[in-house]
Amino acid sequence: MLQLITHHRVEHLIIEQPRRFPSHSFFQLQSLCCVYKSTLPALLSNTTHISSIFSLLLPCFSPIATMGLKGFVEGGIASIVAGASTHPLDLIKVRMQLQGESHLPNPSLQLYRPALAVNSAAVGNVSISQPRVGPISIGVRIIQLEGVAALFSGVSATMLRQTLYSTTRMGLYEIIKNKWTDKETGNLPLTSKILAGLIAGGVGAAVGNPADVAMVRMQADGRLPIDQRRNYKSVIDALSQMTKQEGVGSLWRGSALTVNRAMIVTASQLATYDQAKETILEKGVMGDGIGTHVTASFAAGFVAAVASNPIDVIKTRVMNMKVAPGAEPPYSGALDCALKTVRAEGPMALYKGFIPTISRQGPFTVVLFVTLEQVRKLLKDF
């Protein structure tokens, strides 16, 4: 008798009074499911009941669908456009960061002297008498030796990385920011923006790490001797070969570094952009247009580059290291890589590739946020 009464109460609530249920009350929805979960199979046996259940549930999730999914789409489109357009600069940055590694099998490919080396005897195959070569020379040399197409080596991995990593971090940041913003004033403290960026960046990096590893390897492949190159055909081929030859764990090699870097980049980049944009608008320096977006973007790109470059250098080297079966890896971990890098090449080695980093972060951030603002305008009615 009790079961029939319970069934009738649930049926009455769902079938007869769906509009009276608060559409945004997750607590009440959760309580309903917990109390009456035993009657759900009976309700689902009727197609009319199923339709009514969906009409009840959809309004509860509409705030997330409207706010969250839209943020992911907007951020994803902007990130993919920015990543693809600045890929050659990112490739040059990676090549510069890998220079100076003492375990490189072909010393003739080394183009850079160590940065402020403290112990030249410990450098191994690297000679401090080698000339310094800048990013422009690197780009020219890549074109001469590998062709123009080499500047876009690993672009498929970049696209996948932006799809996974940047889409996740941009969308999640918007959700957290909107959740924490004061509804009355519309303000969010800088510290809260930074915290939102740290959370969003960490989650995004964990999701996108496999594509990040593939991207680094594909970008760095051209600097290896021909007989030792991996010659990945695409990002899918890279992920497949890595899984077969090195195990699934290799897809998350350097993930701790990736997460740390992504947290720093996202927190500094997104928080700085929002804060700079708000300041410009509040002070009345410029209106909400391209000028404001570009100015705030450059500020965000510079801060992100300065904060993330040391971790980026270590991450690149750990991800790119080649481990032969049964042989000891060049680096046992991030800390070991950092110590060996500083000892062999000096502390400024952690800022190797900074010029192409800032040269890439600047355009990337500008394209990212300008595109994002335009996409937001296009999708404002959705």
If one counts every other C-beta atom within 10 angstroms of the C-beta of residue 243, the result is 14
233-262: pLDDT as tens digits? 888 999 999 999 989 988 988 788 889 889
63-106: pLDDT as tens digits? 444 556 888 999 999 999 999 999 998 888 888 877 766 555 44
Position 192 scores a pLDDT of: 94
Give the Cα separation of 47 and 266 in Å (integer). 46
252-300: pLDDT as tens digits? 887 888 898 899 999 999 999 999 999 999 999 999 999 999 999 999 9
Extract the tokens encoding 76.
Answer: 């994803």
Position 102 scores a pLDDT of: 56
How does DSSP assign 287-321, residue by residue? Answer: -SSHHHHHHHHHHHHHHHHHHHHHHHHHHHHHHH-
Are 163 and 76 in contact by the 8 Å Cβ rule? The answer is: yes
Q: Whole-structure pTM over 0.85, yes or no?
A: no
Residues near 175 by Cβ (< 8 Å), separated by ≥ 6? 64, 67, 68, 71
Show the domains of the chain with their CATH numbers. 83-378 (1.50.40.10)
How far from 21 is each of 4, 41, 43, 319, 320, CA to CA, in Å? Answer: 22, 21, 18, 52, 55
Cα distance between the two ends of the chain: 48
Q: What share of the chain is helix, strand, coil (3-state, %, to 5)?
A: 75, 0, 25
Phi, psi of 346 (to 5 degrees): 95, 160
